[in-house]
Amino acid sequence: MEYQKQNESGSQVQIPRVLEFLRSVPPFDTLDTNELTHLASRMEIAFFPRGQRIVNKGDSAFRHLYIIQQGAAEISLVDDRDEELLVDVRGEGDYFGATSILQDKPVMFDITAHQDLIALMLPAEVLQEVVSKHPVFRNYFSFSLARTIQAVRQSVEFQRPQPIGQIAFTLDMFMTGKRVADLMSKNVLTCTPEVSVRTAARLMAQHRVSSIVITGSDLYPMGILTDNDLRTKVLAADVSPEVTVAEIMSRPVHTVAPDAYAFDVLLSLSQHGVRLLVVIEGNRIVGIISEHDLQMETGSSPVQVIGEIERTTSLDTLTTGLRPKIDRVLEMMLRQGGPVKHLVALVTELNDRLTLRILKLVEQEMERKGLGRAPVPYSWMVLGSGGRMEQTLHTDQDNALFFSNVSAGDEAEHKMWFLKFSERVVDCLERSGIPRCPGGVMASNPKWCHPEDRWQATFMGWITEPNPHTLLMASIFFDFRPIYAGTEFPNMLKDLLLKEIQTNPLFIRFMAKIALSNRPPLSLLKRFVVEKSGEHKNKFDLKMRGLNPMVDAARVFSLALGIKTQNTFDRLAEINQRGIIDSEFHADLREAYEFMVYLQISRHLNALAKGEEPDNFIDPGSLNSLQRKMLKESFAVVSRLQEIIEFRFHTKKVEI
Beta partners for residue 224, in sequence order: 213, 250
In whole angstroms, what is the distance from residue 393 CA to residue 389 CA?
13
Element (H, E) at 310: helix 302-311
Nearest to 492 by CA among 453, 527, 441, 528: 453
pLDDT at res. 554: 97
In whole angstroms, what is the distance from residue 66 CA to residue 120 CA?
6
What is the DSSP code (8-state) at residue 547? I
| N-terminal to C-terminal alpha carbon distance within the chain | 56
Mean pLDDT per block of 10 residues along the chain (656 residues) reads 33 76 85 90 92 92 93 79 72 86 86 92 94 80 52 43 35 50 87 95 90 88 92 90 94 90 75 85 89 61 75 86 72 65 82 93 94 95 94 88 92 96 96 91 97 96 93 95 94 94 93 94 81 88 95 96 94 95 91 89 78 86 78 92 93 81
What are the Cα distances from residue 15, in Å, to 29, 45, 46, 92, 625? Answer: 15, 11, 15, 18, 21
Nearest to 472 by CA among 518, 435, 503: 518
What is the DSSP code (8-state) at residue 613? P
In whole angstroms, what is the distance from residue 249 CA to residue 409 CA?
52
Q: Which long-range contacts (CB under 8 A, 24 or more apart) does 80-88 make?
A: 84/110, 86/524, 88/526
Nearest to 31 by CA among 173, 97, 99, 126: 126
In whole angstroms, what is the distance from residue 594 CA to residue 638 CA?
12
Which residue spans of the chain are classified as CATH 2.60.120.10?
Answer: 5-143
How many other C-beta atoms can be found within 10 angstroms of the C-beta atom of residue 308? 17
Q: What are the DSSP E strand ranges found in 261-343?
A: 276-281, 284-290
What is the distance, to the nearest Å, from the Cα of residue 186 to the centroid of all Cα atoms in its chain? 31
How many other C-beta atoms can be found within 10 angstroms of the C-beta atom of residue 63? 12
pLDDT at res. 620: 86
pTM over 0.85: no
In whole angstroms, what is the distance from residue 591 CA to residue 262 CA?
20
Decide: residue 45, CB within 10 A, 0-12 exposed, 13-18 middle, 19+ buried: middle
pLDDT at res. 612: 81
Nearest to 256 by CA among 240, 268, 247: 268
**CB neighbour burial string for 96-131, b if at least 16 within 10 angstroms, e if fewer:** bbbbbbbeeeebbbbbbbbbebbbbbbbbeebeebb
Roughly what angle, to the nearest 10 degrees, separates helices 302-311 and 262-272? 20
pLDDT at res. 425: 97
Residue type, 152: V
27 preceded by cis ω (within 30°)?
yes
In whole angstroms, what is the distance from residue 411 CA to residue 639 CA?
47
Nearest to 555 by CA among 440, 649, 423, 655: 649
Supply φ then ψ for residue 322, to 5 degrees: -90, -20
pLDDT at res. 173: 36
Whether 160 and 80 have beta carbons less than 8 Å apart is answered as: no
CATH code of 180-298, in short, is 3.10.580.10
Name the pairing type of β-strands 276-281 and 255-256: parallel
What is the DSSP code (8-state) at residue 444? T
Which residue spans of the chain are classified as CATH 3.10.580.10?
Answer: 180-298
In whole angstroms, what is the distance from residue 410 CA to residue 395 CA?
35
Q: What are the DSSP E strand ranges found in 206-315?
A: 211-215, 221-226, 255-256, 276-281, 284-290
pLDDT at res. 333: 65
Q: Which CATH number fits domain 5-143: 2.30.30.30, 2.60.120.10, 3.40.50.720, 2.60.40.2580?
A: 2.60.120.10
